[in-house]
Each structure stands twice: as C-alpha cells, then as structure tokens.
Structure 1
Amino acid sequence: MSVFVILGLLVCTEAQGSRAETHVFVKKGEEVLLKIMKADELQKFFFFSWKFNASDILVTLTPKAEPEIYPRYTKRIEFSVENYSVKLKNLQKTDSGVYTAHVFRIPQELKVAEYNVTIQDPVSPVDLTVDSVSRSSNSCNVTVTCRTQDSHINSTFRCDTQTCSQEGGEQSKVTTSGASLQIYLDRNGSIICNHSNQVSWTENKEIIEHLCPRHADSESLSPGISVCLVKTVVFSVGLIIMVSAVITVHLMDKLKKKK
C-alpha cells in the first residue's frame, strides 16, 4: 500500500478511541508541548501522524524512517521520535483548534491524543477610578469604576468604624474580548480591580482606609469625648511639670548643703 493511499485513509477514516479532549490555553507568541495520552497504543503501528482540525497534517512517521514535517509547519514545530510529542511554537490566533495524534494499525486508525488549543492575547491594563466618597457620623460610602479598553463596571463599598464591605453595583462581568473583569475588597483592606483571562492578568488597587478611615480621629470624636481628652492631656502635662519642679528643688537643696 502506498503512502498516498495511507494518507487518504488517515483523512477519511474516523479515528477510534477516546473522544475526551484536553483544553489548553496559550498566550499569543508562546509555545506548548502536546504529549501522547495513550502510549500503550504505540506498539507495532504502521503509520503515525499529528493532525490539526482533523485534516491538516503536521507530521508523519513510519517505523524505521525519519519523521516528515509538512512544509507549512517547518520551523514551527518540534517532533520527538522518543515519545512522539509535538511542540508548537510562536502560536498565533489562527493556530487555535483541535490537535490530534493518530496511529494506523490495519484495519483501523486509533486516536492516542486530543487537545483543544486556544490562543489568547494578554489582557489590557486596567484602571481603577474613585468616583465619589460620602461620609457621615458613623459610615462612609465609596463608589469606584473599574475600566479596561472595552468594558467597565461600577461598585460601591461601605465602611463603618469597624468593618468595610461591598454593598452594591457590579462585582464581575465578561468583557467583549472574553476576559473577566472583577472588583472586590481583599483581606488587606484594598479595593482590587482585576482583569484576567486564562493566560494573563493585571490589576489596580486603592487602599480603602485612605478614603474612609475606620479609626476615630479628631473630626469624628463627639464634643464630650473631645473635652475629656483635652482635660486628660492638660492634667498629665501639669503633673509632669509639678514632679519636675519638686525634683529640681530637691537637687538644688542638696547642692547648697554640700557647698
């Protein structure tokens, strides 16, 4: 049987075996290694190949022969004759699709690996803008906008003297480019604006305590507490002065007696 007949069978014959796909996400311009999932099926095969989207052949191999990388993929892939894995390099959006490895053993073709590869651009930077801050005697509200090149979400946070929480607005959404845009309050008290997909992420943040101090300060103290605090400070300072004066007089008397 000629190689051309075998290739025709590879294109037209439906591969037997598992149909389970492994989903792989790769950043544009990077590389990925695709390994064989069923190594035990590689015994005594007549013909081996890696395909793209069922019909586009990347590389073929017959026993006791050198692998043949097809012209379209020359310098774009690396094939290992030791474990039959293939490395895809400098991946672009058009390289997204299903990659399968097949062995041909008369009378059937067996699928020994299947990967659904998605190539993604890195996400764009994200901006976090404070739209408004409103304070009252016992609470503080902050409204912010989390924005990317093609999308945005708004959210509101509320703080009292003890805690802060996310009260309203949007918490997350999927952008038009398919990435995830999220806004939340982390454990350290920062408002986080996060833009991410399966291959990259970026974020911006604001420390909420800088916008809504949670600890009482001079502006938030009641008049009674302020007066009490002033009296305490005055009394303490006066007491220190009196003790210092007594010690000074005592020391001067000692010096006089010595003379």
Structure 2
Amino acid sequence: MGTMRFTIAILLTLVHQTESSSVFVLKGQDVRLDVQTNITLEKDIDVLFWKFNTLVNVVKYPPKVTFERFKGRVEFSEGNFSLLLKNLQEGDSGPYEAIVSGNKNTNVATYMLVVQERVEPPVLTVDPVSTKSDPCNANVTCRGQNTSVTSSCNNSTCSQVGGESRGAETSTVPLLSVYVAGGSIICNHSNQVSWANDTKEIKTFCVPKFERDRADHNYAVIHVIIIFVACALIGW
C-alpha cells in the first residue's frame, strides 16, 4: 500500500486565453494564478482586481491592496500581476478572475479552483473462485470513501462487474480502479491531486495448473498408500 505525497506548489503557465481553466489543488498547498493575456495598465486610469466568487475582492492594484478575507494568505506580483494563494482550504474552492477596470472592464484571467483532500487508502478483498480447469480466478472488491467496485480477475486482467468507477479527468469524485500489474491485483483510489492503493499478490490465490495437477497426483498417491497400509493392518 502506498500513497504518493505531493509537496510542491502548483504553478500555472501563461496561456493566451480567457476561458475558465479548471485547477485542482491538494488541501494545504499553494497555487499561482497567472493572467492569461498580455496587459499594460494605463497610468491613473486602469486598476486591476483579482476577484473570488465574482463579488469578493482579493487584491487590487494600483495601489496594491489586499482585502480583509485574504490578508496574510495571498501574494500579488506587481511585475506580472499573478496571484499566489497559500495554504488552500476547501472553502477556497470556486471561481477566480482578474479584471482590468478603466475605460471599460476587461477580463484577463478566469479559473475554476477545486481544493481536494488527499484520498484515503482503499481496501481490497479477494475471494478466490479457482477450479482445476480454471486455476487462477478471483472475485475482488475495491472499497474507498463511500463507493466500491467489484471485478472478476485472473492472472492477466480484471473486468469490472459491479459498483461505481467514477473519475473523469474533470470530475471532483475520486476514482476507484482495479487492474493487474507486476504479479499483483491493484486497487487504486485517486483524485486529481493524490492517490493510494492496496495490492494482493496473485500467487496467494493462483496456483499454476502444473503445480495443481502435481498436488492432485500426490494426494491420490498418498490416499492409495493410506488405504494399502490400513488394509495390511487389518489383515486383508
């Protein structure tokens, strides 16, 4: 079982568009939001505002002012007008936009910020259903944070047979997935900022056919010997 730990801030690169960009951030981390077009502020006329949730002012420039709700939690760059949000919490999720206000209002950046917690480690259970003719099968269940998936697995692949396996690239719902890799069945639980997994080695329930046949043969031989010894003891 392992969990990837994210310990660096997410820095967004400059893009030349003003459409909303979805940004996923691990709770407690930082993120930098850049303006999405080249701008020059006309002296004594233009003022730039970073806003949260449309109506809440974060900072304005010039002069540089940080508004009460975000004091001590943001850094504004006078050079490139970027906004660094620090120690993000779930309540910081929502739309952020940069607007230049002057002779007219111009939107120069729009982001949809989603702050997510680290996913919990999942739990993988394996129920072997192997037979002599099919010695390497198991029904497995992967559980994590109020959802689960069930799959039928063998030594090379898993096929989902029930439950919910959510988690499109833009979804905020954690994704559960089950697959075979490196001789193990892996139950992976992830969102856009973290993941954790639980694994079970296939060999714990999958006996190669030649070994199973050899075990059956040895059992038959031992059974015959026991019968022979028993007959000899009773004088047959």
Quote the residue 1:44 is aligned against: 42
Q: CA deviation at 1:165?
A: 3.1
User: Relative CO higher for 1 or 2, CA cutoff 8 Å, sep ≥ 6?
Assistant: 2
Preserved CA contact (<8 Å) 1:179 1:196 = yes
Q: CA deviation at 1:21?
A: 0.8
Quote the residue 2:67 is aligned against: 70
Q: 1:119 to 1:211 in 2, by over 3 A?
A: same
Q: 3-state SS of the aligned residue for 2:165?
A: strand
Deviations 1:173-200 (A, max 9, x none): 138x8211111112x2321100001111
Quote the residue 2:136 is aligned against: 140
- TM-score normalised by the chain length of structure 2: 0.75
Q: 1:184 to 1:104 in 2, by over 3 A?
A: same
Q: 1:149 to 1:109 in 2, by over 3 A?
A: closer
Quote the residue 1:3 is aligned against: none
Q: Give the 5 Å matches for 1:46-61.
A: 46-61=46-61
Deviations 1:14-60 (A, max 9, x none): xxx96511110011111110011112x22426211101111110111
Whichever residue aligns with residue 47 of structure 1, its letter is V
Aligned partners of 1:206, 1:153: CA distance in 2, in Å? Answer: 16
Of residues 178, 195, 200, the one that matches 1:183 is: 178
Structure 1 gaps, min length 5:
1-16, 228-259
Aligned partners of 1:83, 1:72: CA distance in 2, in Å? Answer: 23
Whichever residue aligns with residue 202 of structure 1, its letter is A
Aligned partners of 1:99, 1:51: CA distance in 2, in Å? Answer: 6
Preserved CA contact (<8 Å) 1:158 1:167 = no
Preserved CA contact (<8 Å) 1:179 1:197 = yes
Aligned partners of 1:90, 1:191: CA distance in 2, in Å? Answer: 36
Aligned partners of 1:171, 1:179: CA distance in 2, in Å? Answer: 14
Aligned partners of 2:73, 2:209: CA distance in 1, in Å? Answer: 60
Deviations 1:131-181 (A, max 9, x none): 23422145332111111241222211235xxxx333552486138x82111
Whichever residue aligns with residue 29 of structure 1, its letter is G
1:209 matched to 2:208: no
Aligned partners of 1:190, 1:205: CA distance in 2, in Å? Answer: 6
Quote the residue 2:146 is aligned against: 150
Q: Give the 5 Å matches for 1:1-259.
A: 19-39=18-38, 41-44=39-42, 46-62=46-62, 65=63, 67-106=64-103, 108-159=104-155, 164-167=156-159, 169-170=161-162, 173-174=165-166, 178-186=173-181, 188-214=182-208, 216-217=210-211, 219-221=212-214
Aligned partners of 2:159, 2:145: CA distance in 1, in Å? Answer: 26
| CA RMSD of superposed structures (Å) | 2.6
Aligned partners of 2:157, 2:94: CA distance in 1, in Å? Answer: 43
- TM-score normalised by the chain length of structure 1: 0.68
130-139 vs 73-82, which moves further: 130-139
Q: 3-state SS of the aligned residue for 1:123?
A: coil
Structure 2 gaps, min length 5:
1-15, 222-236
Q: 1:72 to 1:167 in 2, by over 3 A?
A: closer
**Higher Cα Rg: structure 1 or 2?**
1
Q: CA deviation at 1:109?
A: 0.7
